[in-house]
Structure 1
Amino acid sequence: MKNQKAISLFICLVAYYFFFWEEKLGLNLLVFNFLLLGLNYPDMPKNKITFLLLAIAFISSISVVLINTEFGILINLLIMMVVLGYNLLPQINSAISAGLVLFLNTVLNIRHLATPISSILEGMAPKSEILNRILKIVKISVLPIALFLLFILIFQTANPIFLEKTLFLQQAFEVFIKEFPTFSIPRTAFTIFGYIILSGIFFNR
C-alpha cells in the first residue's frame, strides 16, 4: 500500500513539474487535479460527502479553464485543500479543519522526506541486506543534511565572518551548477516544494 502511494506521488510529481514549471494555470491545473483526485479516490470513503466534494472540485477545476481568473484559481486551490484534507481525516466536519489537516500533515511529512523513495526501493528488493543498510543511511542522513544547509544559510546571512569562512562551499556549489547546465536552483526548489506538498497529500502522518 505504501509502495503504491509512493508510485502515485512520483507520477504526480512528474506531472507537476512538466505541467507547472514556468506555465500559466489553466488546462494544466484541471488535468493535474483530475490526476490527483483519481489517484486518491480509492482511499476516500464512499459516501455522499465524498461525492459532493469531488463534484465541487471538478466544477471548480473546470471553471479555472473557462473563466481563468486569479480568484477562481485561488478558490480551486482552497477547495482541493479541503477535499484532500478530508481524505486524510474523514471524521472532520468543517472546511477549515480539512485545510488545516492537510497543512499540518504536510509539515509533519518534512521529517519523512525519504519515505516515498525508500518504500519504492524496499518494494523492488525487500530482502536485500545491502539495500536495507543504504535505506537506513538515507533515512538517517536526510534531516541532518537539511538542517546543516539551513544552518549555513542562516549564519552566512547573520555573520559576515562566517560567510567569509564558508564562501568556498558556495563557490563550489556554483561550479557544480555551471558544470551541469540542466540543473538550476529554481527548478530544484520548485521540484522539492512539489515533493513536500505531494508527500503531505499521499502519506498520512
Structure 2
Amino acid sequence: MLIDVLRRVSAAERFVRRGLWSVQGDYPLGSKLGGKRVGIIGLGNIGLLIAKRLEAFGCVIYYNSRRPKDSVSYRYFPNVHDLASESDVLIVACALNKETRHIVNMDVLEALGKDGVIINIGRGTNIDEAEMVRALKEGRIAGAGLDVFENEPKVPAELLSMDNVVLTPHVAVFTSESRSDLREYTIANLEAFFTGKPLLSPVLP
C-alpha cells in the first residue's frame, strides 16, 4: 500500500484505463521508498514485521509504542507528534483503546507535513478522519493509504476522487492463507488455555 501511494501505481493504472496516456502524455513521477524515514505507531508483532520489510528497502525506522523495546535498535519516540515531525511516512499499526483513539490528530498531521504520507492498517478511529480529510484537501500532507475507516463501510466521499489516496476495504491482513492460519492459531490458543499452558497471544490490559 505504501509503495502504491508513493509510486502512484493505482492512479497511474486508472490514467491508462481512461485513455489519458495518449492524450496527456507521460504520467507525473512518483517517489521511491528507499531511504524514507518511516515512523511506526505500534511496534507489536505486525509493526515489527513491517519494520523488517521496510529495512530491506533501505528505510530508516523510527517507532512509538507503550514503552521502548530492548530487542530492537530502532529509534524510539515517546511522543507521536515528535515521531511525525521526524518522519516522511507515518504508519499506524497500533491497537485501538482510549489512549490510541485519534492518536493521529491535527497536530500530528501538521508535524508530518506537506511531503508526508500516512498509512493506516490499525483501526479507523486511530486517526481523526475529518482532520485527515481536511489535511489532504488542503495539501497539508502528501497522501494516504487507508485500509480502515472510522465508520466502516462508509468512506468519506472526498477521498474517493483523490488520486493521492489509496483505499482498500479492510482487507490488509486477509488472504485465503491468513484465514486458515488464523483458525489454526485460535485453536492452538484454546488448547493452551484449557490445558493450563501459556497462551500464544495473551492480550495485555
Question: Normalising by the residue count of structure 2, what TM-score does the alignment of the two structures yield?
Answer: 0.26
Q: Which has the larger radius of gyration?
A: 1
Higher helix proportion (structure 1 or 2) = 1
Question: Normalising by the residue count of structure 1, what TM-score does the alignment of the two structures yield?
Answer: 0.26
Q: Which has the higher contact order (CA 8 A, sep 6+)?
A: 1
